[in-house]
Amino acid sequence: MESSIVTFIANKHVYYKLRRTAVIKVAIVGAGPAGSYCAYKLAEKGSYPSVFDYSHPREKPCGGLVPATAQELFPFLKALPIPHSERSTMTMITPSGRKIVVGFRKGKIIGFSRLKFDQYLLNMAVNEGADLVEEKVIGLERKYGWWKVRTQKQSYAVKTLVGADGVNSMVRRNIIGSLSKRDKGVCFGYFVKGLENEDVTIKFLPGKKGYMWIIPRGEDTSIGIGSMEIRDSPELKTELATFISNFCPQAEKISEWTALIPNVKDSKTFRIPIAGSNWTLIGDAAGHVDPITGSGIIYALLDGELAAEAIAEDNPELFNKMWIKTYGQQLLRATKLRGWIYKQPLLEVYCMYLKVQNATPFA
């Protein structure tokens, strides 16, 4: 009698545990460009993922600048139905103060708000059949070849897990360890009004590896400063204040932000596998941002597409080879050049080179 009561209670416990655990084939943590585009591409292939993100609609500290090359790779960017800016020139100010206007040979650069862009991408995914779970993932465990994904509300049993949760990725932390402090840069800035008709402007920093920017985004403008070295952060606000008073005192500040950005300095970081038999990391969580320019949106979209392909083939691990083959050499080369390109004499020559080539540094 006693033992049957114990069995009954134990079974009930298991039953309630199971009832609280929803089963998901593919879960994507993070609905930034990487996660949403991956969800969209998977849904397009008939595999309908669940995307976990608690933050939308939200702005993200970002210039929102994408080069013409991105529009060739992702034609939906050519006809974005959200407010955005388009420019066929860019003004660069060299460390010595020389102003160089570069006209692009091919296409235009566009700038948009990440509030609008990320919402647009997420809608694309949901309209295609992906499921949005508006919950924050707070725990992760690997059990018998499955993942137990825990949010504040409940637990989920997940077959394949995609970490698209940005520079401080908790998925990455739990699987291969966080990006080191050394492999991150820092940015500070504002969203402002009153500069929407300005040219996209980049001012390189004398004596630092980084630059300041003005990027009109249609309805507002991102103005900021970024350095590859986190130790530079205390000086950034003062440097940006001087830049604003010299170049655009009319800017009307709406909000202020500070943000980290992947800035991989050691090519060994890029050699660490970022996908396994039932998991993959994409976008900022993978560290996939150009170490010289800070461009990450194009890589987030590329990662989303490639990871979706690998997962649809039931071989997430394939992503390790796919990203290296598609654009890996570009990032590896940039880790080697980043120390050189920001040396003042070279940077002066590099800006002249871009002018002669009619090319953008954000390719």
Report the interface residues with ligand FAD, using CB under 6 A. Answer: 29-35, 52-55, 60-66, 136-137, 164-166, 170, 187, 224, 259, 261, 283-285, 289, 294-298, 300
* Cβ within 8 Å of residue 33, ≥6 positions away: 117, 118, 121, 283, 297, 300, 301, 304
Give 96's DSSP letter: T
CA distance 91 to 102: 6
Q: Which is nearer to ligand FAD, 12 or 58 (CB)?
A: 58
Q: How many CB atoms lie within 10 A of CB 297?
A: 26
Name the minimum Å distance from CB 263 to ligand FAD. 10
Least Å distance, CB 212 to ligand FAD, is 11
CB–CB of 68/108 below 8 Å? yes
Question: Which residues are within 8 A (CB) of 182 and not within 5 positions of it... i.e. 6 or more apart?
Answer: 265, 266
- Distance, in Å, from the CA atom of 126 to the CA atom of 105, rounded to the nearest integer, reads 37
Least separation in angstroms between residue 55's CB and ligand FAD is 4
Choice between 107 and 352, CB closer to ligand FAD: 107
Number of residue whose CB is nearest ligand FAD: 296
Cβ proximity to ligand FAD: between 66 and 341 the closer is 66
Burial class (CB in 10 A: 0-12, 13-18, 19+), 228: buried
Nearer to ligand FAD, 159 or 173 (CB): 173
Nearer of residues 16 and 54 to ligand FAD, judged by Cβ: 54
- In the block, tokens 């079974």 appear at 11
Pairwise CA distance, residues 239 & 110, whole Å:
26
| Closest distance of CB 204 from ligand FAD, Å | 16
Nearer to ligand FAD, 63 or 361 (CB): 63
User: In whole angstroms, how close is the CB of 40 to ligand FAD at the nearest point?
Assistant: 12
Closest separation in Å from C-beta 168 to ligand FAD: 7
Name the DSSP letter for residue 220: S
